[in-house]
């Protein structure tokens, strides 16, 4: 529509995704999961075999020029080794 005003928070013009009305942040994959984690928080990290390993969240990993999943840095208290892991493999621990 020529001359129509568009909300800048909406998906860009010509968006052909299944949810073109979603806010632009959601459209580019920002699910807010990183906002829920804080430095020093106890987390579980899903391992390749499906098990979970206790870890401490250190912070968000730098984005890569080559794409890929968002990452984060964790430290394993049992070995004191650090690792960069995919954010989707991290689950907050409920120590209660």
Distance set, CA 75 to CA 3, 27, 28, 59 (Å): 53, 31, 28, 10
Q: Does domain 31-92 have CATH number 2.30.30.140?
A: yes
Q: Where in the chain is the domain with CATH 2.30.30.140?
A: 31-92
Q: Which residues pair with 86 in a beta bridge?
A: 71
pLDDT at position 64: 74
Stated length of the chain: 96
State pLDDT tens for residues 56-71.
999 999 887 777 788 9
Strands (E), 1-96: 42-46, 52-60, 71-76, 81-86, 90-92
Tell me what the mean pLDDT of segment 10-16 comes to: 46
Note the pTM of the prediction, 2 decimals.
0.59
Q: Mean pLDDT in the chain? A: 74
Nearest to 76 by CA among 62, 68, 51: 51
């Amino acid at each position: 529509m020529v001359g129509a005003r568009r909300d800048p928070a909406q998906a860009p013009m010509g968006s052909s995704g299944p949810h073109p009305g979603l806010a632009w942040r959601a459209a580019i994959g920002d699910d807010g999961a990183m906002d829920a984690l804080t430095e020093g928080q106890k987390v579980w990290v899903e391992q390749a075999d499906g098990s979970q390993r206790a870890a401490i969240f250190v912070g968000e990993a730098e984005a890569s020029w080559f794409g890929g999943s968002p990452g984060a840095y964790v430290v394993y208290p049992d070995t004191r080794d650090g690792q960069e892991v995919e954010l989707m493999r991290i689950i907050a621990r409920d120590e209660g």
